[in-house]
Amino acid sequence: MLKTLKLSLALENTYRVNGIIYAIKQIPLIKKIIPDTIYSEGVFKVFGNVISAIWTVLSTFIGKLFYFLMMIFIIAGICNVPENAGAPFFLQLLFVLTVIGAFMNTLMFDPSKDKYYAIILLGMDARRYTLANYAFSLLRLMLGFTLAALIFGLMMGLNVWECLLVPFFVAGMKISFAAYELRRYEKSSSVKNDSKLAALKLIAMLLLLGVAYAPPALGYILPESVSVVLMCLTVLAGALSVKKIITFKSYRAMYKELLTDALTVQMDKSAQVKLQKEQARKNISADGGITSSKKGFEFLNELFVKRHRKILWRSAERITLVVLVLIAAVLMLFKYVPESKSDVNGAMMNLLPAFFFLMYALNRGIGFTQALFINCDLSLLTYSFYKQPKCILKLFQIRLREIVKVNLLPAAAIGGGLALLLYVSGGTDNPLNYAVLFVSVVCMSVFFSVHNLMLYYLLQPYNAGTELKSGTYKLAMTATYIVSYVLMQLRFPTLIFGAVTIAFCVIYCIAASVLVYKLAPKTFKIRS
């Protein structure tokens, strides 16, 4: 088992180092200086290994510390949790957040390329490989959570033994979810994919986040003893689930199905494109009667939107339905718990920045651009007329209009719902706040629509095999996530933040159009 772990870690490190070097080569200006022989240069290999080691440490410890700081410790300050309620608040929030983490990422069902190389290409024993790497991942997870729990847990009033229980609880939750998915696979042959954020998965995550933060914000905190008992039961469930993970016999068959997408990496480009298009067609309407009375790019766009309604409008409609249900639930809360109105009213007047991250998460722009490339631009970018400045700007504006319409549906529901909740919970002395709440949320939605489409045109990240090949694009998307998350922690009066948001959105839309017109003719192309 140790030999298998050593080989798999060496393979993973080699893949990661080459990925780091490749990402560096994709940075503008630098890529023209660095030769292709960089992969064989010892100095660059050492540099890549140093970056890889730093990333391993950061992902083990710093990530967990940042997680506890942002998701629990700062939230405790925002909710004005009394000092004597710090420990029960910490444990209650940690429990629900751990459920979300285990549901979203079990540590076992991520279709990474190192799994493909090890299990499919090198023929390593799938069971030994999985058990060795899963145990190592759990060990890293527990080390990270031990340090974070001791630092922030003690600050929140937990006993040392409660802090030491946290890593076993988190591991137990992960193991329990993994064992459940293995049993489900045996019954249905349907394998979980941790890397896919489907609409229902996103909705479930948002609902659980509501369960995590809403009760404490309204003053409802479970007794510390109840949370401790639930954590101990989770540790027991994890211990009992270990047997399933060890005795599961179909790891190779399961990973073969899970890694289907990764198999295309080793095919020739024409085979890649063919398989990707076959998979994409599953999301396209097969109705042969779909047509349009429009002409030119408007004709092309309308056909695209109608045929891709499943991945564009259906998810937006589902998200909107969930939003309406949540708003109705809060209104019911006002009826049966009238004292909650003051807390919600205060939140409406100061928590608008938090919805910036929510709009980032709900925006369908990335899925829209992926579908655009696979089912439209991959073919049309071979024609010179398609890359003329006027044509690019015209189609950019048409596509922007469509994705804005899709994202406006849930945005309007959220903005309108916030204004309604502000009114019902006691209102405001300045009626302008109602309009700012609604318009600013809409502007956030428009911003992310513009941002995602602009990055697609300026950095076009896909190659002919529909692989994401732009390191700059990845950095831009990561920066967007970080900025959105940081803004979620800020507290500004609704009127001030809303006015800034509206002004910024207008300026950004104008700047994006100019940049696309000036630069896209050179950047909007299929990557090699």
**What is the SS3 string spanning 251-275?**
HHHHHHHHCHHHHHHHCCHHHHHHH
C-alpha to C-alpha distance for 248 and 179, rounded to whole angstroms: 9
Question: What pLDDT sits at residue 113?
Answer: 75
- Output the DSSP codes for 346-366: HHHHH-TTHHHHHHHHH--HH
Q: 412: exposed, middle or buried (C-beta count within 10 Å: 0-12, 13-18, 19+)?
A: middle
Tokens of 54: 């730093």
Q: Give the C-alpha separation, 172 to 53, whole Å.
A: 27
Concatenate the DSSP letters of all residues of 180-194 into one string. Answer: HHHHHHHHH-PPP-T
Which positions ≥6 away from 35 have C-beta within 8 Å?
none
What is the C-alpha to C-alpha distance for residues 367 and 360, in angstroms, rounded to an integer?
Answer: 13
Look up the pTM and report it: 0.61
Structure tokens at 237: 């469930």
What pLDDT tens digit does each residue of the chain (528 aa) get? Answer: 777 777 777 767 666 666 666 666 666 566 666 666 555 666 656 666 676 677 777 778 888 888 888 778 777 766 667 767 888 989 999 999 999 988 888 888 888 777 887 888 888 888 988 999 899 999 999 999 999 999 999 988 899 999 999 999 999 999 999 999 999 999 888 888 877 766 667 777 778 887 888 788 777 888 999 999 999 999 999 999 999 999 998 999 898 888 865 454 444 444 455 555 555 555 565 555 666 677 777 887 777 777 777 777 788 888 888 888 888 888 888 887 787 788 777 777 777 777 888 888 888 888 788 888 877 887 788 787 787 888 888 888 888 888 888 889 999 999 898 888 888 888 877 888 888 888 888 888 899 999 999 998 888 887 776 667 777 888 888 888 888 877 776 666 777 877 888 888 889 888 988 888 888 888 888 776
Among 81, 95, 340, 36, residue whose Cα is nearest residue 230 = 95
- CA–CA distance, 380 with 374 (Å, rounded to integer): 10
Question: Of 192, 176, 166, whose CA–CA distance to 242 is shortest?
Answer: 176
Q: Which residues pair with 462 in a beta bridge?
A: 468
DSSP-based three-state secondary structure for 524 = coil
Phi, psi of 462 (to 5 degrees): -100, 145
Write phi, then psi, for 8 (nearest 5 degrees). -70, -35
Residue 228 is predicted with a pLDDT of: 94
Both tokens of 207, joined, read 């609902």
Amino acid at 523: T
pLDDT score recorded for residue 266: 47
| Residue recorded with tokens 């109840």 | 226
The predicted structure's pLDDT at residue 114: 77
Sign of torsion over alpha carbons 330, 335, 337, 343? positive
**Would you state the pLDDT for residue 179?**
94
Query: Please, what sign has the CA dihedral across residues 99, 100, 104, 105?
Result: negative
